[in-house]
């Protein structure tokens, strides 16, 4: 049973460019969340997708956008890259269980370096 898979594992981009990161959730999960983890810090919530809609959003600018597909996989897009966007981008999936909190399972992330 595959867990959360992310691609690519590493990426180097130049300031001003755009990037797309991809995520496949754990089997049986229908909700995908994205987090940004700067070096030496805890993950910071970017947004969450459920039923192909953005359900919740953290304190990130509009340059960060996402999409969820009918098969529950997801993409994170970042436009006009800044040096400060260099970080580990983590995807987490969970199963929607009504009003309760279900455990989030993380992938190993995409390491983005902006030069």
Partner 1 sequence: GENVEQHPSTLSVQEGDSAVIKCTYSDSASNYFPWYKQELGKGPQLIIDIRSNVGEKKDQRIAVTLNKTAKHFSLHITETQPEDSAVYFCAASGSRILTGGGNKLTFGTGTQLKVEL
Enumerate binding residues for partner 1 (CB under 8 A): 4, 31, 33, 35, 40-45, 48, 50, 55-56, 58, 90, 94, 96, 99-109
Nearer to partner 1, 12 or 80 (CB): 12
Write down the least CB distance from residue 74 to partner 1, Å: 15
**Which burial class, exposed, middle or buried, applies to 52 when counting CB atoms under 10 A from its CB (0-12, 13-18, 19+)?**
exposed
Nearer to partner 1, 19 or 49 (CB): 49
Nearer to partner 1, 13 or 106 (CB): 106
């Amino acid at each position: 049973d595959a867990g959360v898979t992310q691609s690519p594992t590493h990426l180097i981009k130049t300031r001003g460019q755009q990037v797309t990161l991809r995520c496949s959730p754990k089997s049986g999960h229908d909700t995908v969340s994205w987090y940004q983890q700067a070096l030496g810090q805890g993950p910071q919530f970017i947004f969450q997708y459920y039923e192909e809609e953005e359900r919740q959003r953290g304190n990130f600018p509009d340059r960060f956008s996402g999409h969820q597909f009918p098969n529950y996989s997801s993409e994170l897009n970042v436009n006009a890259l800044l040096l400060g966007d260099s970080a580990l981008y983590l995807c987490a999936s969970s199963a929607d269980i009504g009003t309760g909190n279900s455990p989030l399972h993380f992938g190993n992330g995409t390491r983005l370096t902006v030069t």
